[in-house]
Structure 1
Amino acid sequence: MARFYLIGFTVLLMFDTVAQCSFKLAAEHAQPLAMSIEWLVRVFSGHWIYVSIAGYILTFFTWMTLLKKAPVGPAFAASHLEVVTVMIVSIWLFHEPITLFKLIGTILIVSGILFLALAESKLAKKANNHSD
C-alpha cells in the first residue's frame, strides 16, 4: 500500500506541476493581457494551454484514484506539495527567486504533511492493535 501512495502522489505532483507551469507559459504566450477576442485567440493558438488542460484532467483522475484508498486528511495535505514542486520548477523555468517567505512556507507545508502522516500512522497502529 505504501508503494501505491508513493507512486500515486508522485504522479499527482508531476501532473499538477506540469499543468500549473503550462498554464503560466500559456499566459506568457498570450501577452499582453486583454479581455478581447484577440487575446483569447492568442491563448488558444499556443500549445501550452492544451498541455495545461491535459495536465489538469490527468491530475483529476489521479486524485480520484488516490482518494479511493488514501485517508482524506493526509491525502489532501500531501496533494498540496504541488505548491513546493511548482516553486522549485519555477526557479528553474521562470527564473523566479527563492525568498525567505517561500522557504518558510515550504518548511511549514512539508512539516504539516509529515505530522499528518505520522498521526495517521499512529491511528492505524492503534486500530490494528484493538482489532487483535
Structure 2
Amino acid sequence: MRRFYILGFFFLMMFDTLGQISFKLSATAALPLEASLGWLYRIFSQHFVYFAILGYVGAFFTWMTLLRRAPVGPAFAASHLEVVTVMIASVLIFGETISLAHFAGALFIVAGIVCLAFAERDVIKKENEKS
C-alpha cells in the first residue's frame, strides 16, 4: 500500500506540474492577451496547451484513484506538493528566482505534509491495536 501512495502522489505531482508549466508556456507563446478569435487560434496552435490538458486530465484520474484508498486529510495536503514542484520547475525552465519567503513556504508545505503523514500513521496504529 505504501508503494501505491508514493507512486500515486509522484504521478499526481508530475501531472499537476506538467499542466501548470504547459499553461504558462502556452500563454507566453500566445501573447498578447486579447479577447479575440486570433488569440484563441494562437493558444490552440501551441502544442503546450495539449500537454496542459493532458496534465490536468492525468491529475484528475490520479487524484480520483488516490481518493479511493488514501485518507482524505493527508491526501489533500500531499496534493499541494505541486506548489513546490512548480516552483522548482519554474526556476529550471523560466529562470525565475526563489525568494526566502518562497523557500520558507515550500518548507512549511513539506513539513505540514510530513506531520499529517505521521499523525495518520499513529491513528492507524491505534485502530489496529483496538482490533
Q: Quick one: distance in 2 between partners of 1:89 and 1:125?
A: 37
The runs of 5 or more residues in structure 2 that have no matched partner are none
* 1:98 CA displacement: 0.9
> Which residue number in structure 2 is paired with residue 88 of structure 1?
88
Matches within 5 A, 1:51-66: 51-66=51-66
Letter aligned with residue 45 of structure 1: S
Q: Quick one: distance in 2 between partners of 1:97 and 1:7?
A: 29
> Which residue number in structure 1 is paired with residue 32 of structure 2?
32
* 1:6 CA displacement: 0.4
Equivalent residues, number: 131
Matches within 5 A, 1:5-44: 5-44=5-44
Q: TM-score, normalised by structure 2?
A: 0.98
Q: Does residue 101 of structure 2 align to residue 101 of structure 1? A: yes
Q: Quick one: distance in 2 between partners of 1:101 and 1:36?
A: 37
* 1:36 CA displacement: 1.2
Q: Quick one: distance in 2 between partners of 1:102 and 1:27?
A: 23
Secondary structure in 1 matching 2:70: coil
* 1:51 CA displacement: 0.7
Letter aligned with residue 87 of structure 2: M
Q: TM-score, normalised by structure 1?
A: 0.97
Q: Deviations over 1:66-121 (max 9, x none)?
A: 10100000000000000000000100001000101100110110011011101100
> Which residue number in structure 1 is paired with residue 112 of structure 2?
112
Identity %: 58
> Which residue number in structure 2 is paired with residue 73 of structure 1?
73
Q: Quick one: distance in 1 between partners of 2:40 and 2:3?
A: 42
Letter aligned with residue 19 of structure 1: G
* 1:35 CA displacement: 1.2
Letter aligned with residue 124 of structure 2: A
Secondary structure in 2 matching 1:68: helix
Q: Quick one: distance in 1 between partners of 2:94 and 2:32?
A: 17
